[in-house]
Amino acid sequence: MSTTSLDKSKIRILLLEGVHQSAVDNFERAGYSNIEYIKTALPDDQLKEKIADAHFVGIRSRTQLTEDVFAAANKLMAVGCFCIGTNQVDLTAALSRGIPVFNAPFSNTRSVAELVLAEAILLLRGIPEKNAVCHRGGWQKTAANSFEIRGKTLGIIGYGNIGSQLSVIAENLGMKVIFQDTVTKLPLGNASQVNSLDELLEQADIVSLHVPETPSTKYMFGKDQLAKMKPTSILINASRGTVVDIEALAQTLSEKKILGAAIDVFPVEPRGNDEEFVSPLREFDNVILTPHIGGSTLEAQVNIGGEVSEKFIKYSDNGSTISAVNFPEVALPVHDNVHRILHIHQNVPGVLSNINNLFSANNINICGQYLQTNNKIGYVVIDIDKAHSELALEKLREVEGTIRCRVLY
């Protein structure tokens, strides 16, 4: 194995929440052996203790990486969300410390779309209640409130990667698709965008939420929206637990104002499989409750493990930040025969000219330079002759505005 700037066995990788083994395999193949693998999320105090000497942390949707946690993460170089959502990470806190955050924006979208369709079919047939009745020894053979999904209207809220994929599959099953999104989106197939949420709720037989957790989506679906749904309609939420007001949904269900619901995500979720799941929805047979498994298929998890570990390996070995969600994106060529310096700095006037002046004053020739900035930070990557990297690193660390700086070879 070739010599590298930081011995790979010293790069500590902390993987939480049982990310797929494909990630571990990938890291090991790339020469990273210092891996701690934990199956659950950790309580805050243990998380801070573990993250204190980690260079990379891999999480899923349950682990909250707050400002406080980042403050304890002295050595952290990058974060990998082995999922789509990144709302559990304080992206600004990460950015201000020069820490890129990666995720897997596509790998589990199909799994979510399939689950939602399956739930729609089961709920429109009243299967969850009929199943519960049979399990208790009853027999409820009736066609009352039992419908085909063919010809029904699916109302999708949030027409992104999941919403649009769901739209295509639903049309193939003979459904009519309408959607609402804050952004004007190109409808796929025969789907059409409506102008408001109210318009969607008036028409939809199935309402399915596919928005990210943001300030604008927090509790966006409450008493008022539930009241506007058709009495024969159902609600599906496989987005984030804070999007739907669960108490209001429980009230609506107890008043039998909608036919049923399928909920995969909750405002508070157990940390692991040993903790009790507590929810006012447990009492309703016409609600499908699933333990946040929308993206939990083997196919999706294998792909996510590979995708996110690959992004970290590229960043660690080569400096590339392509597809980081909070960080200037730089795609870099291989750096054979040169040493590569990564310099992350506050985006204030003068940093770049200070860097270039410094190189010129010290007679250090630049073989390649790549720069990308956002409104907060700048990321400059400089390839230089091997003989000069130690001096360059020392000088660059003194440049005002430097957040972090390291060399790769």
Ligand X SMILES: O=C(O)[C@H](O)COP(=O)(O)O
The catalytic position among 20, 110, 210, 292 is 292
Binding letters toward ligand NAD, positions 27-66, x by CB under 6 A = ----------------------------------------
Only one of the segments 20-28, 80-88, 164-172, 278-286 lies at the binding site for ligand X (rule: CB under 6 A); that segment is 80-88
> Can residue 128 be called a binding residue for ligand X (CB under 6 A)?
no
> Can residue 295 be called a binding residue for ligand X (CB under 6 A)?
yes
Give the shortest CB-336-to-ligand NAD separation in angstroms. Answer: 37
Q: Is 240 a catalytic residue?
A: yes
Structure tokens at 36: 């701690």
Q: Is 110 a catalytic residue?
A: no
> Can residue 395 be called a binding residue for ligand X (CB under 6 A)?
no
Only one of the segments 210-218, 275-283, 305-313, 351-359 lies at the binding site for ligand NAD (rule: CB under 6 A); that segment is 210-218
Binding letters toward ligand X, positions 91-120, x by CB under 6 A = -----------------x------------
Only one of the segments 45-53, 82-90, 316-324, 367-375 lies at the binding site for ligand X (rule: CB under 6 A); that segment is 82-90
Binds ligand X by CB under 6 A, chosen from 22, 26, 61, 225: 61
Integer Cα distance of 285 and 129 in angstroms: 5
> Can residue 244 be called a binding residue for ligand NAD (CB under 6 A)?
no
Say if CB 191 and CB 178 are below 8 A apart: yes
Give the shortest CB-147-to-ligand X separation in angstroms. Answer: 29
Only one of the segments 198-206, 237-245, 348-356, 363-371 lies at the binding site for ligand NAD (rule: CB under 6 A); that segment is 237-245
Integer Cα distance of 367 and 369 in angstroms: 7
> Can residue 181 be called a binding residue for ligand NAD (CB under 6 A)?
yes
Using the minimum distance from each CB to ligand X, give the nearer residue, 296 or 356: 296
> Can residue 295 be called a binding residue for ligand NAD (CB under 6 A)?
yes
Integer Cα distance of 392 and 135 in angstroms: 72
Give the shortest CB-69-to-ligand X separation in angstroms. Answer: 17
Only one of the segments 56-64, 203-211, 252-260, 360-368 lies at the binding site for ligand X (rule: CB under 6 A); that segment is 56-64
Using the minimum distance from each CB to ligand X, give the nearer residue, 61 or 321: 61
> Can residue 210 be called a binding residue for ligand X (CB under 6 A)?
no
> Can residue 182 be called a binding residue for ligand NAD (CB under 6 A)?
yes
Give the shortest CB-179-to-ligand X separation in angstroms. Answer: 20
Say if CB 22 and CB 306 are below 8 A apart: yes
Q: Is 335 a catalytic residue?
A: no
> Can residue 292 be called a binding residue for ligand X (CB under 6 A)?
yes
From the list ligand NAD, ligand X, none, which binds 155 (C-beta under 5 to 8 Å, kind-based)?
A: none
The catalytic position among 240, 335, 343, 406 is 240
Say if CB 144 and CB 259 are below 8 A apart: no
The catalytic position among 171, 199, 202, 269 is 269
> Can residue 269 be called a binding residue for ligand NAD (CB under 6 A)?
no
> Can residue 241 be called a binding residue for ligand NAD (CB under 6 A)?
no
Integer Cα distance of 369 and 238 in angstroms: 43
Q: What secondary structure, in 3-state letters, does the chain show?
A: CCCCCCCHHHCCEEECCCCCHHHHHHHHHCCCCCEEECCCCCCHHHHHHHHCCCCEEEECCCCCECHHHHHHCCCCCEEEECCCCCCCECHHHHHHCCCCEECCCCCCHHHHHHHHHHHHHHHHCCHHHHHHHHHCCCCCCCCCCCCCCCCCEEEEECCCHHHHHHHHHHHHCCCEEEEECCCCCCCCCCCEECCCHHHHHHHCCEEEECCCCCCCCCCCECHHHHHHCCCCCEEEECCCCCCECHHHHHHHHHCCCCCEEEECCCCCCCCCCCCCCCCHHHHCCCEEECCCCCCCCHHHHHHHHHHHHHHHHHHHHHCCCCCCCCCCCCCCCCCCCCEEEEEEEECCCCHHHHHHHHHHHCCCCEEEEEEEECCCEEEEEEEECHHHHHHHHHHHCCCCCEEEEEEEC
Integer Cα distance of 43 and 270 in angstroms: 11
Please identify every residue annotated as catalytic: 240, 269, 292
Interface residues with ligand X (CB under 6 A) are: 60-62, 82-85, 108, 292, 295-296
| Contacting residues toward ligand NAD, per CB under 6 A | 84-85, 108-109, 112, 157-163, 180-183, 210-214, 216-217, 220, 238-240, 264-265, 292, 294-295
